[in-house]
Amino acid sequence: MPTPVRPRNDPRLYDDLAEQWWQPNGAFVMLHWLARARAALIPPATRAGAVLVDIGCGGGVMAPHLAGKGYRHVGVDFTGSALRQAAAHGVTVVQGDATALPLADGCADVVAAGELFEHVPDLSAAVREACRVLRPGGLLVADTVNATWAARLVAVWLGERIPGGAPPGIHDPALFVPPKRLIAECARHGVALQVRGIRPAVGSMLRWLLRRQGEVPMVATRSTAVLYQAWGVRRPWQETVKEAG
């Protein structure tokens, strides 16, 4: 059966592409590259029973890169077909909406939000929830797409036309996130973010396009014009309340 035509950013696209999550040349291959780079920002757990909450976990592509770091990997996603694959890769799965997480306040030592914020119509609510479930002193890590014409060109016009790029229709450019806005939203909830640009290593990407083999490293760059990473620690609860007051 042909794949149905969906509106941009339609969650049903993930059901249509459910078998692609772990295919080496599948539609989500770049998410594996980004997951490795995201996991590199996460230090080993410093206490027994540490929890990492992976919001928008998809098929669980962070799981191999967290092995040995000492976290219980809890993945939250709206899409049941993705969660079934995440569970098969050792993730403790929870079905839920990123803007209303079914998790307790302060339950996470680390919150990861990989390629999530550019898919959420209510960014403020998604950031609030990510920070709410993060304990004081816990680490938030994220990566997302900037709201620039360069990002539209690379992530949508070009990215949807080349192997290893974004699946067609997966992004709605109207939801792309300027770094300044993400920084401001997190600051309201006591998380001071640092940001840096990130992109595929050019030589590796060209080789992958020719051979469709291997993994492409994501490398840091000064420019945040297309993709960027963000990370920050949640301040103690008392400090956040004092500033809000």
Under the banding of pLDDT at 50, 70 and 90, the label for residue 137 is very high
pLDDT at 231 over 50: yes
Percent of the chain with pLDDT over 70: 94
Complete domains list, the chain, with CATH: 12-237 (3.40.50.150)
pLDDT at 78 over 90: yes
Q: Under a CB-based contact definition with an 8 Å cutoff, are residues 224 and 194 in contact?
A: no
- Give residue 122's pLDDT: 98
Under the banding of pLDDT at 50, 70 and 90, the label for residue 3 is low
What's the average model confidence in pLDDT over 169-173? 95
- Give residue 242's pLDDT: 47
Q: Which residues contact 153 (CB under 8 A, 6 or more apart)?
A: none
Q: Spell out where 66-191 has E strands.
A: 72-77, 92-95, 108-114, 134-145
- Give residue 17's pLDDT: 93
pLDDT at 151 over 60: yes
pLDDT at 88 over 50: yes
- Give residue 214's pLDDT: 83
- Give residue 2's pLDDT: 58
Under the banding of pLDDT at 50, 70 and 90, the label for residue 238 is very low
- Give residue 25's pLDDT: 86
What's the average model confidence in pLDDT over 25-36? 94
Q: Under a CB-based contact definition with an 8 Å cutoff, are residues 94 and 76 in contact?
A: yes
What's the average model confidence in pLDDT over 165-181? 94
Percent of the chain with pLDDT over 90: 85
Q: Of 215 and 151, which is predicted with more confidence?
A: 151
- Give residue 241's pLDDT: 45
CA dist 228 and 199 (Å) reads 8
Location of structure tokens 């938030």: 140
- Give residue 237's pLDDT: 61
* pLDDT tens digit sequence for 96-105: 999 999 999 9
CA dist 235 and 188 (Å) reads 11
Angle at 134 between CA 187 and CA 170, to 5 degrees: 80
pLDDT at 79 over 60: yes
What's the average model confidence in pLDDT over 168-188? 97
